[in-house]
């Protein structure tokens, strides 16, 4: 199992799915994320005397600049922090404007929540979360931690290949779909010459730099009670939005207790709802009742898919803002309930339905410092650049997280003003015997908990090192019996899954299967070993 494998075999890691990378080893510190410049920014802060939290904030802020296709200042953030041998959870998601309602959205001509425009925009939570993390755990001033991001925003940086691909794709989608003057600032900001920047072309945003400076100098006060909030609300009033200053002044990040299940001796940690981390935990709770000896076996994939389907059926029925949930977490994670769900898995692909438990665009990063502190952090605007709205003179691309709200008032995740929506972004963390093994995460909307399950089983059941665990071919369930697999997925197993009733299709789009990062730490020696995503411009910076 992983514990003996990591602790006693640090000098021997095999990779049965080589993609040209090996796992990375270091001792003094490590930052793993999807953009090399952001990873180096985090490492720079570590070398200046910052800790894992400082490095995480620096990396997250830098990612808003060097990967705006996935996240931004106008998005949300969730984090799990391991600090001084204690675990903490932070929910940095924002609420729907108080002035919005199902009736108003329908009056605007929508039968379901749209993806673009003001209706899906919720209060950005990321800047407040940076401030909250820094004040509680940071060693360096926030102003110093945000310096790398400010510099890249002001001086610019050249686009890497994967970043340029998704930037170009978003531009053509937005050019076709975004109609109206209120979308003009997006094109002015991200396609300043009437076209998206290309590979190797330098892009900069002075507006973005000034906004980051205001956040740094005021510890995010300007964003929620000052100049930036006023600009966002004024833009909303001018163009049909729903925000008031009160929506921003009342925003707060929430410290929460992470939730877990024990899987084969390891405690797997996720954050509680409104996030969907409970999907991964429910699936693992079901899967631990089976024994898996061979990764590339139809039984392994079939049971993984079926467990994910059952977990999602519950989550999409019951999970929302915790203040609105009518089913308890204990009921959803109950061992007897897991056994009931496990019995539903046969040799044939099922059409999932929710059970009846007992009453009661995204970036991911992992950091570790030389003192054993670690952070698992995920940040997103959702669906690429988000809503398509950029606040003039700020560089802020607003998220469209509210797209997941339902317009059916009977649904658990029904839209209500001031409510947090079902949230797809989830950080993960692994411990054993109350000692940190480390942070892990896989980006990608509803792929995230599916990626968590696959990466963890690759690690725990099949003893793959972090890089191999990430590189292994993935699958993704969509609905009913519909499953998509990567083009590297074993063809013979795909055919066997089809015989069991799974509707299998092959995708050549790597981003469909998430983008992950892992850092494991040897509790005995302090040695760090990391893996980074081969499906994007992933990078590990370490020393």
- Residues classed as catalytic: 362
State the Cα–Cα distance between residues 64 and 388, nearest whole angstrom.
15
Report whether 78 contacts 426 (CB < 8 A): yes
Phi-psi region of 403 (alpha: psi -120 to 50; beta: other; left: phi over 0): alpha
Cα–Cα nearest to 97, from 368, 341, 415, 344: 415
Report whether 388 contacts 186 (CB < 8 A): yes
Instruction: Give me the torsion for CA of 446, 127, 67, 537, rounded to 10°.
Output: -70
H-helix or E-strand containing 514?
A: none
Report whether 493 contacts 297 (CB < 8 A): yes
State the Cα–Cα distance between residues 125 and 77, nearest whole angstrom.
6
> Taking CA 284 as the corner, what is the angle to CA 279 and CA 286, rounded to the nearest 5 degrees?
100
Q: Residue 153: helix, strand or coil by DSSP?
A: helix
Tokens of 485: 């697999």
Tell me how far apart the terminal alpha carbons of the chain are, to the nearest angstrom.
28
State the Cα–Cα distance between residues 298 and 496, nearest whole angstrom.
7
3-state helix, strand, coil in the chain (%, to 5): 40, 20, 40
Tokens of 522: 């040897």
Tokens of 428: 């993960």
Helical ranges in 90-160 per DSSP H: 102-107, 126-137, 142-145, 147-155
In the beta sheet, which residues pair with residue 475?
485
Rounded to an integer, what is the distance from CA 213 to the centroid of its chain? 25
For residue 179, count CB atoms less than 10 angstroms from its CB and return exposed for 0-12, middle for 13-18, buried for 19 or more. exposed
Report whether 60 contacts 379 (CB < 8 A): yes
Q: Residue 212: helix, strand or coil by DSSP?
A: helix
Instruction: Give the number of other CB atoms < 10 A from CB of residue 188.
Output: 13
């Amino acid at each position: 199992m992983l514990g003996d494998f990591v602790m006693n075999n640090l000098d021997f890691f095999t990779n049965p799915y080589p993609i040209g990378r090996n796992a990375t080893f270091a001792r003094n510190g490590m930052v793993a994320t999807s953009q090399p410049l952001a990873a180096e920014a985090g490492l720079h802060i570590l070398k200046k005397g910052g800790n894992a939290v400082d490095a995480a904030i620096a990396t997250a802020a830098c990612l808003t600049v060097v990967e705006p296709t996935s996240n931004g200042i106008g998005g949300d953030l969730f984090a799990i922090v391991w600090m001084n041998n204690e675990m903490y959870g932070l929910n940095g998601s924002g609420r729907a404007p108080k002035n919005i309602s199902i009736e108003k959205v329908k009056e605007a001509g929508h039968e379901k929540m749209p993806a673009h425009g003001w209706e899906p925009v919720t209060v950005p939570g990321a800047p407040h979360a940076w401030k909250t993390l820094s004040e509680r755990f940071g060693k360096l001033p926030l102003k110093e931690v945000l310096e790398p991001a400010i510099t890249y925003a002001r001086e610019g940086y050249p686009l890497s290949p994967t970043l340029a691909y998704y930037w170009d794709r978003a531009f053509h989608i937005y050019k076709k779909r975004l109609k109206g003057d209120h979308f003009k600032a997006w094109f002015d900001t991200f396609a300043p010459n009437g076209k998206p920047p290309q590979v190797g072309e330098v892009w900069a945003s002075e507006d973005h730099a000034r906004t980051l400076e205001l956040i740094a100098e005021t510890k995010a006060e300007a964003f929620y009670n000052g100049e930036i909030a006023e600009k966002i609300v004024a833009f909303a009033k001018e163009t049909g939005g729903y925000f008031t200053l009160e929506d921003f002044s009342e925003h707060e990040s929430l410290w929460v207790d992470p939730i877990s299940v024990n899987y084969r001796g390891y405690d797997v940690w996720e954050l509680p709802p409104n996030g969907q981390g409970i999907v991964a935990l429910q699936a693992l709770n079901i899967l631990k009742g089976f024994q898996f000896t061979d990764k590339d076996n139809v039984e392994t994939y079939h049971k993984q898919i079926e467990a994910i389907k059952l977990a999602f059926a519950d989550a999409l029925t019951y999970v929302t803002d915790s203040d609105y949930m009518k089913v308890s977490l204990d009921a959803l994670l109950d061992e007897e309930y897991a056994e009931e769900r496990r019995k539903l898995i046969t040799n044939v692909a099922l059409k999932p339905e929710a059970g009846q438990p007992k009453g009661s665009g995204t970036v991911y990063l992992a950091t570790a410092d030389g003192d054993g502190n670690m952070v698992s952090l995920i940040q997103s605007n959702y669906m690429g650049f988000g809503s398509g709205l950029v606040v003039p003179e700020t560089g802020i691309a607003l998220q469209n997280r509210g797209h997941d709200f339902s317009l059916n008032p009977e649904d658990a995740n029904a839209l209500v003003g001031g409510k947090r929506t079902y949230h797809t972004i989830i950080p993960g963390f692994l411990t054993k015997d109350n000692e940190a093994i480390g942070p892990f995460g896989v980006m990608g909307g509803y792929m995230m908990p599916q990626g968590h399950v696959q990466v963890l089983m690759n690690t725990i059941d099949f003893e793959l090192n972090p890089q191999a665990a990430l590189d292994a071919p993935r699958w993704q369930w969509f609905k009913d019996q519909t499953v998509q697999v990567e083009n590297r997925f074993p063809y013979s197993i795909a055919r066997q899954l089809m015989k069991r009733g799974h509707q299998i299709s092959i995708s050549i789009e790597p981003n469909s299967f998430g983008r992950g990062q892992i850092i494991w730490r040897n509790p005995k020696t302090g040695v760090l070993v990391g893996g980074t995503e081969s499906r994007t411009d992933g990078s590990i910076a370490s020393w």
